[in-house]
Amino acid sequence: MTEKRDKEITAESLNIVDKAGNTRIKLFVNAEGTPTVSFLDLEGKERLGMNISEDGMPKIYLSDLEGKVRLAMAIPENGIPSIGFFNSEGKSRLIMGIFEDGNPFLGFYGPDGKAIRALP
Q: What is the pLDDT of residues 28-42, one digit of tens each?
A: 998 888 999 999 999
For the entire predicted model, the pTM comes to: 0.84
User: Cα separations (Å) of 113 from 3, 86, 118?
Assistant: 57, 9, 13
The confidence score (pLDDT) of residue 4 equals: 76
Average pLDDT over residues 3-13: 85
The confidence score (pLDDT) of residue 116 equals: 96
34-43 long-range contacts, CB within 8 A, separation 24+: 41/65
